Structure 1
Amino acid sequence: MDALEQVMRERVVKGLCLSIITLGIQSQAYAIPALPADANMDRLPEQVELMRRGYYIETWGSLKRLNAPDQLGCKGFEIQAHRGHAQYTENGPGAVMTGITSRFNGVEVDARQLGDGNWVFNHDATTGRTLVHPSGDVSLRSLDLNSWMIAKGRNRLGAATNEDIYGAFDILTVVNELTHPAQIINIELKSDPGLQCGSLGSFDAGAKALFSKGKIGYSSMDGLPPLQCIRQFNKDAYVALIQGPSQPALEKWAAANHGDELSRLKGRQRLMAGARLATKAFGAYKYPRWGTAAALTELKTKIGGDVGLHVEITDLLSDPGLTARAHKAGISKVMTYTLTDNESHIKGLKQLKARGAMPDGAIVDSTPIKTCKMLGLE
């Protein structure tokens, strides 16, 4: 923890500038106003150009608004960073920190339990896709915290990096010092076989010891049980059911991610191969629908308190009235996610906006300013 905290503190403090800066570029001097305290002072030539447009680069490399550096998200629309910031290993310390400092409304991370009971942030049940581990592609349940931390992160393209990996509470301890009062950490709970309700309660107790009320929320694609469990321990947290993708959404995912492989098959062989791929990726490929008024009321009743529903963008496009029905049933927020690419997600949101059927927010893979600009909400 000490090493992580020291690195993060140095990066946050680095580059303080409290007075006018004189910058020499090609033998010419330019006087620019004082940059905000979190500006990246190693990128001054870029800062000059960006400041003319009302932006600057903060310490972690994200673009922020010069006149409103603490403004969160878009105008009237909540955006969360998907598995942390897209420039870093997903769910890794750099991704989570940068998602916070770049001023998303929140950061979404995936929580899993190791074999020794410690919690880490990782989407998959194994290490291979997101991490480089000396033992290769191994199950997280076979690791303890020490053997987890010898791994290094991969970037979003799968290439090995030198990024160190830490436990969930090591990361959250540092994140707690960086968060804006209105930001949220959205913990997506991954319910591995054998995970007990008491373990979720222990995780929540640790989170509540670090963060004030309202700063931690929970979500799950594994049905109601983990969310009902969390509600036993935390009456105030935002708790959201992630509605699993429909068959059309999964087919779109399969075409985008496994198109070449599936194109060689026909008929039933192709359908079965797609089903196997979906099962491996999502644990199931048939999920209950929660879109009717009765189902939404049941969702609100069975979880209680501040309840949300997160849906795949393809599914909301096919049922744009869902958001209004959810609100009527007492659901606090409807947010979208995507199985494919960020550009398709934004395109879908723009279509919903044109129809007057925008959700309350989205979990995205682009920066806040880029996302807001694309949606016309900057």
Structure 2
Amino acid sequence: MLIKSTIKEEKTVFSKVLLNLSILLLLAGCQSVSNNTQKDETPEQLQSFPYDAKLIGKDIVDLQLALKDRNLYMSSEGRVKLFSTGQCNIDIVAHRGDFREPESSERAITSATADDFNTIEIDVMQIKSGLWVNHHDMATGRAVVHYSGKSYNLAKMSDKTFSGLRLRDKETNSLLEQRPITAYESFTAFAKAHKPGQILNVEVKSQANGAELTQLDHMLRKTIGQNSFYYSSLNLETLKKLRGINTTVYLGFIQAPHPDSIAKLKRELRKGVKKDELYQRHSRNIEALGNYGTRRYSQTYKDYTSLSALSNLQIKLGSNSGLHMDIRSYAKATSVKGRSNRLGMKVYSYSINGTDYHQGKLLALNKSLLPDGIIIDATPYRLCQQLFNASKPLKLHKPNTSIGRYIKGLPQDADFDKFEQMLSYIDEGYYVSMAEGLKRIGADKNKSVFKPNEDKKPIGLSLDFPTIKDEKMDTSTGKAIRITIPSVEQ
């Protein structure tokens, strides 16, 4: 059973660590030889590039140097990333891991660590046996589906039923031959993949007792270490229990979404039902979620932005704590940042109404009023570029290839998250704008936007890039709301 397997895994943590240390010591000499060999194979001009930089491919040196001139580089996976995030003075949190990967998957965690997010957020809750699992919603049907098509309530789910869950592909909505991972599997995945300074934000969904939360904290300390994780929750009582268990960890209290945000989410959920065949089977559940959410938060929404409310919150949670707010609420009360910071508390923003809305609200703020951290479904590059102009060209590199000259000539609003798509239009002189889609380089703003041929392939390029699909934003990313689901397992 999963729960027995998890307990057994916990007991073997130390033995595995000792074994790994022994292997590392034995291979130390071999590793130095391997590193020297790899260094010798790296083009001299790219010696100072990050460890995951792409080093092989036609015109790769000129491509990388042209990107570096804009504080960018291409990773071995073909993604364009910031060379340095020093200009981006804000904690960027990957909402449920990398938004491009299936939720509740190991890949969502490891991909987010590779993409240089400061913090990776995951959701954990318990199933019937007490096993902690990585899952956001209180019921199946959105990101995770049982292979039978039946809807289940996570709190009443057996280990066997959990094993029958399948992840959904974010591009096609088709089911994958992968189940969601357990909390322990999430922690070990982060422990193996994270870089120095990266933190795991564990949002606790279940209203667990002290013993169950102690088990959770024990797993985190053993797999990740005390200083590499923190907790967040909508439930203040849960956080108070965690403070009694762990006296130094950061605790983030999530203020409920603004009622207007809930109402907007309800409308989006209804649209989703009409477009998704799998959702149509459970349309009553989706409708119940929307109605319940609007009713519940209209009645219980509480504002914690006043000085007295923040002080009381700090008394309950301790000095190392903060407030995580819906961006709609934060934008209406930006002075909360100053009050929180004076108390030694942090303020983070999130949104249940989609990334575009979240980013739009952030862009409208004065830089000094930005929150301390942002929990979002977007790349660090995109957020830092929009908020801090982190990819400003230095115009020092003199390219000697067509692709290098193309990169140098791209306007400041070019969207390097869509770099592969832009490569398809080098000869035509088009690029992808962050705000306006495909445009001609040097085109007047009033000119119509070019409509691309979706079947068009890159011409005359052989850079060995892996396939990168266009980013799709998920606007149905609401906080989990507990409801009674029809046809649940008893």
Do both proteins adopt the same fold according to a TM-score greater than 0.5, normalized to the shorter chain?
A: yes
Query: Please, which of 356, 369, 372 is the counterpart of residue 381 of structure 2?
Result: 369
RMSD over equivalenced CA pairs, Å: 3.3
Larger relative contact order (C-alpha < 8 A, sep ≥ 6)?
Answer: 2
Distance 1:207 1:76, change over 3 A: same
User: Counterparts of 1:208 and 1:247 in 2: how far apart (Å)?
Assistant: 37
Deviations 1:190-234 (A, max 9, x none): 025xx3222111101110112222211111112x10000111111
Query: Please, which of 260, 277, 284 is the counterpart of residue 248 of structure 1?
Result: 260
1:1-378 pair list within 5 angstroms: 17-20=38-41, 33=46, 36-39=50-53, 49-54=63-68, 55-58=72-75, 62-66=79-83, 68=84, 71=85, 75-136=88-149, 137-156=151-170, 158-192=173-207, 195-222=208-235, 224-258=236-270, 277=290, 279-280=292-293, 284-285=297-298, 286-328=300-342, 330-353=343-366, 356-378=368-390
Q: CA deviation at 1:103?
A: 0.9
Q: CA deviation at 1:298?
A: 0.2
Deviations 1:129-165 (A, max 9, x none): 1123224322223334454234331133533234453
Relative to structure 2, which stretch is displaced further, 249-258 or 74-83?
A: 249-258
Letter in 1 for 2:244: Q
User: Counterparts of 1:42 and 1:133 in 2: how far apart (Å)?
Assistant: 42
Contact 1:109 1:187 in 2 (8 A): yes
Q: CA deviation at 1:41?
A: 7.0
Aligned length: 341
Q: Structure 2: which 5+ residue stretches go unaligned?
A: 1-5, 10-15, 17-36, 274-285, 391-490
Q: CA deviation at 1:122?
A: 0.8
Distance 1:53 1:244, change over 3 A: same
Q: CA deviation at 1:370?
A: 1.1
Contact 2:190 2:224 in 1 (8 A): no
User: Counterparts of 2:77 and 2:233 in 1: how far apart (Å)?
Assistant: 29
Q: Structure 1: which 5+ residue stretches go unaligned?
A: 6-15, 23-30, 262-272
Distance 1:145 1:276, change over 3 A: closer
Contact 2:220 2:226 in 1 (8 A): no
Contact 1:145 1:167 in 2 (8 A): no
User: Counterparts of 1:346 and 1:289 in 2: how far apart (Å)?
Assistant: 22
Q: CA deviation at 1:21?
A: 6.0
Q: CA deviation at 1:281?
A: 8.6
User: Counterparts of 1:164 and 1:325 in 2: how far apart (Å)?
Assistant: 43
Name the SS for the 1:18 alignment partner: helix
Distance 1:143 1:159, change over 3 A: same
Q: CA deviation at 1:349?
A: 0.8
Letter in 2 for 1:375: L
Give TM-score scaled by structure 2 length.
Answer: 0.62
Distance 1:258 1:133, change over 3 A: closer
Alignment partner, residue 482 of structure 2: none
Question: Radius of gyration: which is bigger?
Answer: 2
Distance 1:46 1:374, change over 3 A: farther
Deviations 1:253-285 (A, max 9, x none): 334444699xxxxxxxxxxx9996153599744
Letter in 1 for 2:105: G
User: Counterparts of 1:56 and 1:230 in 2: how far apart (Å)?
Assistant: 41
Distance 1:154 1:259, change over 3 A: closer
User: Counterparts of 1:61 and 1:119 in 2: how far apart (Å)?
Assistant: 34
Name the SS for the 1:112 alignment partner: strand
